[in-house]
Structure formats: C-alpha cells, structure tokens
Chain A
Amino acid sequence: MTKQLTPEEIVKSFKDEFETKIKYARIEKHIAGTKKNELIHIWMSVDRSVFKNVVKHLMTLEEYPHLAVTSGYDTGKTIELVYHFSIYFGVRYREISLNITVELPKSNPTIETITDLIPGALITEQEKQEMLGIKVKGIPKDKRVFISDDFPKGVYPWRKDETGPEKMARNLHEVKK
C-alpha cells in the first residue's frame, strides 16, 4: 500500500488532478470522548464528467475503498448524489470518510456505473435508479431492488417534484376518532 496521506494532502491531490472540476472541498473535524479524538470527514463536490476518474484516483490512494452507500436528494432543478467512501481503515484513528457529491441535471440524469471498480456498489446504484429516477450507464443488472415490480412507472419515491410519491400517499395521520 502507498503512503497514507493527511486529509489536506488528499484534497490537494484531488485538486491537482482534476483542478476546476472539483467544485468545492472542505475538511470537517469532529471530536469525541475525553481524549478528544479527531474524526475526519472530507466533503467534495465533483463534476459529473470526471466522477469515474475521481473514483479511479481514489483507488490509487487505497486499493479497496469501502463504499458505504450512496445518498441522494432532489434539489429542485438537479439531483445530487452523495457517494460515501471510507479509506485507510484497519489502523486505529486513521480512517477518513470521504463524501463525494455529484450533481446531475434533471433534464439528463445519467451517471456512469462504478460497479466495474467496486462490485459492491451494485445494490446502491440500483436503488438510486428506482428511487430517484436517474440512469446509471453500464449497470450490470438493470432491475428494481426495493420497490415491487407492480409499482407504477414514472413515480420516484425520493423526488420532491411532480414525479414524487405525494399523490400516492394517504395521510397517515388522519385517524378515525
């Protein structure tokens, strides 16, 4: 394994490699316990065009980055995906959480798959497809995972616009009294 970089060096290495394609990067430090241990969370926003190369670059820092999950939300005009990686696990206090945000325009919500680099990303990519109505290019098994096959097409549960699930929801708080 290559030398472990400090959080500042990690951000710098990404910025050197991708320059303006990194929209922002910030390092958050949180403390816990009486010894005031530092936990390091890096947040980065990258352009969609370089996303796959960012993951490839990440794999030069750590051979097998752990992908916890991909979160996603609807901001109105765009859909943002947040890939939560963690690297340098296995040594006490050294792990760094790396959260990479990718913005997708709603007019063309596609992103490249990373399952060829990290096979464990399959389920989370499938989930994003059905929940947010994005398209993952090159996904090996293009099918629904969580919502059932008879769920109407064109309704995406995590969307906050007209394709969202609002019209399907009954108001659960209305109880017969």
Chain B
Amino acid sequence: MIPEATTKTTYQLPIGPIHPALKEPVAFEFEIDGERIVDVNVSLGQVHRSVEWAGMRRNPIQILYLAERICGICSYCHPMAFALAVERVAGIEVPERADYLRVIQAELERICSHILWAGVAAHEIGFDSVLFLTWQMREKALDLTEYLTGNRVTKAITMIGGVRRDITKDMVPKVTETLNYFKDNFEKLRHIFLDDKTFKMRSQGVGILTKEDALRLCACGPTTRASGVKKDVRLDQPYFAFGDLDFDYVTPDVLTGEVNGDVYDRIIVRLLEVKQSIGLIEQCLDKMPAGDIVSEPKIPKLLATLKKAKGEGIGRMEAPRGEVFHYVKLDENEYPYSWKVRAPTYNNIMPWIPMLRGEQIADIPIVAASTDPCMSCTNRVAVVDNGKKYVLDKEELHRLSVEKTRRLMA
C-alpha cells in the first residue's frame, strides 16, 4: 500500500499476486484517480521454486533438464544459457555444426514464442478471432519442434558441448515446408496487426516507455528495442553462429521511421523479429557445415571433465523475451558451487511503472502483456474503495478491456 498517497480523490487498486500477464506472480498496487492510473507500485510475488537451490544438488547434466523447466516457453534458452556458462568454465569448444543447429532451435523458439504472444495480445484487447489464427500458426511451429527434437514443449535438445539431435538431409524438406507456410501466413498476420484499426486504436500511444527510461531501468529484449535502444545479445556479443549470419537490430523505425516506445511499437518489433527468425533459419540451413554435433559424445567422460573444472562463467542468450543470463561457479566438485538464473522478465518488471502511469485500468492487460511476461491468469483483483472490499476477477478485468475496444469502435 502507499498510505501517504491516499487522498479523497484517489483510491488504490491492488492487482495480483497472480496477474494476468505473469508466470512469476507479481503484485501491483495502483493508485487510481477516476479511471486514470496515477502511481504504480510493483512488488514481486511469492512463488519462488528454489530452482537454484535444487541445482546445487545436481550435476550439470541433470541441471540441464531442471533449467528447462524454469519456463515452458523458453525451455530452450535456459538450459542453453546454462550450457554456455559451463562450457566457458570448463573450456569446452563447441563444434561448428552444433553452433548452427543451436541457432536453428533458438530461432524456432523465437517464432513460436512471438506468435503465441501475438495471439495473447489480441485476446487481451478482445480480438479473439486473431488469437485463433495465430495459435493455428503456432501449432505448425510446435509440430516442427516435435519433429526436430522429439517433444513439443520440453525439447531436451541441449547438451553441454553441443546438441543432442542433428538435422539430417532428409529432415530439411519438412523444415523448409514449415518455413514457407510461415512466410505465406506472415503477410496475413502483419496486415492484421499493423493495418487493422482496432489494433491501432488500442495500442498507439499506450504504455509508453521512453528510451531513457528503458536504458536507466535496464530493460531488455523487444521491450527495450521498441523504445529505440539497440540491444540484442545476438548482435552485441554474437554467441553460437550468430556472428556468421546476416541480420540487423530490429527497432520500430525500420518500418515506420519513428520510435514511440508504445505498445504498437512493441507489436512491430515482435512481428518483424518473426520474419527475421525465418530468414535466419534459412541462412543456417544454407551455410551449415558438416561435422560433429557434440564435442564429447560420451557422457560419463563429460561428467568427469566437468568434475575437474574450476572457475566462474556467464552464459548470455537472447531469448524471445530478452536476455537470459546464467552465472555458474564450479568448484572441482560434482555439483556446481553457485548458479544464478536471470530470466528476461526480471528486468522488464521495473519498466512497467513508467509504462502504466497515466493509463486507464482497461489498459492494464495490454500494457502488461506488451512486455511479454509469461501469460497466466489473474486469479482475482480486489478493489478497495472507501474501505469496502469487493472482488474483480480476471473475467471482469478482461471484460473492461473488451468494453473499451467496443467503445472505441463505436
């Protein structure tokens, strides 16, 4: 609560700890003046799963699968960032082909995540037919993931020193077929998201994050790029084979010539990144050299090497939502000495405060969703008004958002 802020004209609106737009529960306390948000207080929620603690009791191979379960959508980035960190400590060199295979998986995950996000964002403003269209496309991405890795969500493709599965020649046609499907449908999606009046009304000028705020608050990923900050680990510090590929920073001025840092810009950035990812996978398939896919195929031997390793390392990777950061300290022991995981949403929480200030209650879902925190559902929202407490649930908040769209359409 913000006790000193309580006056006759404003009231407080706590949202959370389970919020519509967050996997890690977060609690908001809004100070509301009529319909406008005057001030926001964000406090992180209470579902801490002690993943790092559990990791101290497992060997690095076991941690790969634990890290995979940190997030269902970034189930590739987390183990891979961990593997990068461990490889740097132990001085393991990754074969060139594995570097390319890693890029393909990373970009496939980005396509999957961004399309999923696009659907959720559409749902937040009450445009459900777009939700079904995008998720139909996502289904294709999941089918391809299943084909390449063996499962739809938990991919289990990461291995320290490489990847576990190769893309053989006879698998390439299926990949290109799916990529062509994406290319055909991308134009449709771009047209709906960027030209449709409904989207423009709800997203332009809403949830603005200025470039300075993005830099000062250490935002990352598409959230910061939409504010015009050129920050993308794939380009800044090219890991895997990203240094060999031809691509550039995606900022909204590529398309519109200006940067506003609003929700609309974040939609532009994500959509253009889908297109960029399709191109990157194609480039990889062209350029991929032949060779090994893992530096040490014998896992007992690999474990013995890791047991002798000592030192500290960081693994940074551009996940769909921003930079994933893993810090690992090994200590000539079976289990790591220290492990720190930082998911992109961790840094994208602070920017919510300037984004939400001055907006309406009905804009909360779309603004919060625009940074792409993992989507779950608001359990309930309690509105405290003059000491009387009543509950506003997720449907109610969603209804408010849909009503606003209808109002604007009329």
Assess A/B contact in the complex (Cβ within 8 A): yes
Q: Are B236 and A34 in contact (CB under 8 A)?
A: no
Give every chain A residue within 8 A of B135 (Cβ-Cβ).
none
User: Given A30-B88, A122-B350, are A71 and B327 neighbors across the interface (CB < 8 Å)?
Assistant: yes
Which one of B112-120, B156-164, B340-348 is at the interface? B340-348
In the bound assembly, the distance between CA atoms of A10 and B94 in angstroms comes to: 29
Which one of A17-25, A50-58, A92-100 is at the interface? A92-100
User: Given A120-B217, A147-B46, A165-B53, are A33 and B99 neighbors across the interface (CB < 8 Å)?
Assistant: yes
Q: Are B219 and A120 in contact (CB under 8 A)?
A: yes
Q: Smallest CB-CB separation from A171: which chain B residue?
A: B57
Assess whether A135 is interfacial by the CB under 8 Å rule. Answer: no
Please report which residues of chain A, range 79-96, place their CB below 8 angstroms from some CB of chain B when the two chains form the complex: 82, 84, 86, 88-95
User: Given A39-B237, A84-B327, are A68 and B338 neighbors across the interface (CB < 8 Å)?
Assistant: no
Q: Smallest CB-CB separation from B212: which chain A residue?
A: A64
How many whole Å from B289's CB to the nearest CB in chain A?
A: 7
User: Given A33-B241, A37-B238, are A123 and B340 neighbors across the interface (CB < 8 Å)?
Assistant: no
Give every chain B residue within 8 A of A64 (Cβ-Cβ).
215-216
User: Given A33-B242, A39-B239, are A82 and B327 neighbors across the interface (CB < 8 Å)?
Assistant: yes
Chain B residues touching A, range: 35 or more
How many whole Å from A65's CB to the nearest CB in chain B?
A: 9
- Max chain B CB contacts within 10 Å: which of A34, A41, A72, A94? A34
Give every chain B residue within 8 A of A146 (Cβ-Cβ).
44, 46, 48
Assess whether B314 is interfacial by the CB under 8 Å rule. Answer: yes
Q: Are A33 and B218 in contact (CB under 8 A)?
A: no
Indicate which residue in A33, A97, A123 contacts B314 across the interface (CB closer than 8 Å).
A97
Which one of B5-13, B145-153, B227-235, B365-373 is at the interface? B227-235
Please report which residues of chain A, range 85-135, place their CB below 8 angstroms from some CB of chain B when the two chains form the complex: 86, 88-95, 97, 99, 118-124
* Interface residues of A, count at CB 8 A: 50
In the bound assembly, the distance between CA atoms of A14 and B316 in angstroms comes to: 24
In the bound assembly, the distance between CA atoms of A5 and B219 in angstroms comes to: 24
Q: Are B243 and A84 in contact (CB under 8 A)?
A: no
Q: Are A119 and B99 in contact (CB under 8 A)?
A: no
Please report which residues of chain B, range 238-254, place their CB below 8 angstroms from some CB of chain A when the two chains form the complex: 238-244, 249
Assess whether A48 is interfacial by the CB under 8 Å rule. Answer: no
Give every chain A residue within 8 A of B54 (Cβ-Cβ).
172
Residues of B within 8 A of A (CB): 43-44, 46, 48, 50, 52-54, 88, 94, 96, 99, 215-220, 229-231, 233, 235-244, 249, 287, 289, 312-314, 316, 323, 325, 327, 329, 337-338, 340, 342, 346-347, 349-350
Residues of A within 8 A of B (CB): 28, 30, 32-35, 37, 39-41, 43, 63-64, 66-69, 71-73, 82, 84, 86, 88-95, 97, 99, 118-124, 143, 145-148, 157-158, 165, 169, 172
Report the 8 A-B pairs with minimum CB-CB distance, sorted nearest first: A120-B218, A95-B236, A37-B243, A73-B338, A64-B215, A71-B340, A90-B230, A69-B342
22 A-B contact pairs sorted by A residue (CB < 8 Å): A32-B242, A33-B99, A34-B96, A34-B99, A34-B244, A34-B287, A39-B237, A64-B216, A66-B215, A68-B325, A82-B312, A86-B236, A90-B230, A91-B230, A93-B235, A95-B237, A97-B314, A120-B219, A143-B43, A145-B44, A147-B48, A165-B53
